[in-house]
Amino acid sequence: MTGLEILGSTIDTDLVIFDKDGTLIDFEYYWGQRMRLCGQRLVQRVGGDTTLAADLFTSLGYDPATGITDGAGPLATATMKKIYTVATVVLYQHGVGWDRAEEFVRTAFVACASAMPTIELVRALGQVQMLFESLVWAGIRVAVITSDDHSTATETLALMGVDDLVGAVAGGDDGFAMKPSPDAFVHVCARLQVMPSRTMMVGDTVADLVMAQRAGAGVKVGVLSGVSTAAELAPYADFVIPSIDAIHITRT
């Protein structure tokens, strides 16, 4: 017999759905480097000053000085499309006409932020490949639901060597209502023909866990490897663990 075990409890599940940023890959490392670069590029293009840079990063929910991302902010939770709108609004507030602001964001920010991930930006938050292999070996399906764009997410999974182990990916640009709406979760369960009640969700934000709750997920697991604290996640989680490395496949 094989079983999935978390903090000494055995979990009976057919599908584990993971969030990506802050759960599988180091969010600060990836988006921190990328946002700093793309934000600076945009400010340069506009000919803006440090006030514009500060307002831009504050509005995105990111502090470039400390590298800290606000877990409840746009960068942590919103789709890329909404993040681009936030950047456009900030330029408008700094006196750039809306049309020109959109153009600046499209040419300087979008092109930078939507570039495909590269191996040096992707730092796995634990033994992702080993965990996915052991889940699949135990007959448990694996899926990923992310606010990031579908193609970027797929490429990131490929860079980690796990794309072949993932049965379904739902991205922020796939047309589902964003987390905590249960839409993407319900879609993934239907696609893999697994009842939501037989599914376990693993994520680093309250939005991940509430999405799972609304979809009727069997088990909800919060991870502390991302942008949220144990106190924030605990009310919505059956388990709160340091990272995905606390999920084990046991043979009995």
Residues at the site binding Mg ion, with contacts judged by CB under 5 A? 19, 21-22, 204, 226
Q: Which is nearer to Mg ion, 80 or 138 (CB)?
A: 80
Element of type H or E holding 202: strand 199-203
Min separation Cβ 212 and Mg ion, Å: 13
The residues facing 69 across adjacent strands are 62
- How many separate helices (H) and strands (E) can be counted in the chain? 12, 11
Q: Which residue is nearest to Mg ion (CB)?
A: 22
Report the C-alpha gap between 121 and 29 in whole angstroms.
Answer: 7
As measured in angstroms, the least distance from the Cβ of 19 to Mg ion is: 4
Q: Are 13 and 198 in contact (CB under 8 A)?
A: yes
Give me 187's structure tokens. Answer: 């879609």
Measured from the CB of residue 20, what is the shortest distance to Mg ion in angstroms? 7
At 201 the three-state DSSP class reads: strand
Q: Choose among 138, 173, 130: nearest CA to 153.
A: 173
Q: In whole angstroms, how close is the CB of 215 to Mg ion at the nearest point?
A: 17
Nearer to Mg ion, 149 or 204 (CB): 204
Structural tokens at position 91? 């330029």
Nearer residue to Mg ion within complex by CB, 22 or 180:
22
Given the complex with Mg ion, which of 46 and 76 has the nearer CB atom?
76
CB of 17 to Mg ion, least distance (A): 12
Pick the closer one to Mg ion by CB: 24 or 101.
Answer: 24
